[in-house]
Amino acid sequence: MTQTYQVAAIIDLFLDDLWSVQGLSDNTLSAYKTDLRQFDQYIQQQDVDIINANAEQIRCYLSERVEQGMAKTSYARMLSSLRRFYGYLLISHRINIDPTALIDSPKMSRHLPNSLSEADIERLLAAPNYDDPVEQRDKAMLELLYATGLRVSELVGLTMEQMSLRQGLVRIVGKGGKERLVPLGEVAISEVEQYLRQARPMLLGNKMSDVVFPSKRGQMMTRQTFWYRIKHYALLANIKGELSPHTLRHAFATHLLNHGADLRVVQLLLGHSDLSTTQIYTHVAKARLQELHQQHHPRG
**CATH code of the domain covering residue 9:** 1.10.150.130
213-259 confidence digits (pLDDT tens): 999 888 899 888 888 898 899 899 898 777 776 777 777 777 666 66
What mean pLDDT do residues 98-102 have?
A: 88
Q: Output the DSSP codes for 9-41.
A: HHHHHHHHHIIIII---HHHHHHHHHHHHHHHH
Confidence at residue 192, expressed as pLDDT on a 0 to 100 scale: 94
Q: With the C-alpha atoms ordered 33, 39, 43, 45, is the resulting torsion angle positive or negative? A: positive
Identify the band that residue 282 occupies on the pLDDT scale cut at 50, 70 and 90.
low
Task: Find the domain containing 67 and state its range.
Answer: 4-91
- CATH classification at residue 134: 1.10.443.10
- Looking at beta carbons, which pairs linking 156-162 to residues 24 or more positions away fall under 8 Å? 156/213, 156/220, 156/221, 156/222, 156/223, 156/225, 156/226, 157/211, 157/220, 158/211, 158/212, 158/213, 159/210, 159/211, 159/212, 160/210, 160/211, 160/212, 161/210, 162/212
What share of the chain in percent tops pLDDT 90? 22
Residues 61 and 151 in one domain: no
Residues 128 and 178 in one domain: yes
166-191 confidence digits (pLDDT tens): 998 888 876 666 778 888 888 889 99
Tell me which residues are annotated as active site. 151, 175, 246, 249, 272, 281
32-47 confidence digits (pLDDT tens): 889 999 998 888 888 8
Query: Does position 23 have pLDDT exceeding 90, yes or no?
Result: no
111 in a structural domain: no
Of 91, 126, 151, which residue sits at a domain end? 91
| pTM, 2 dp | 0.57
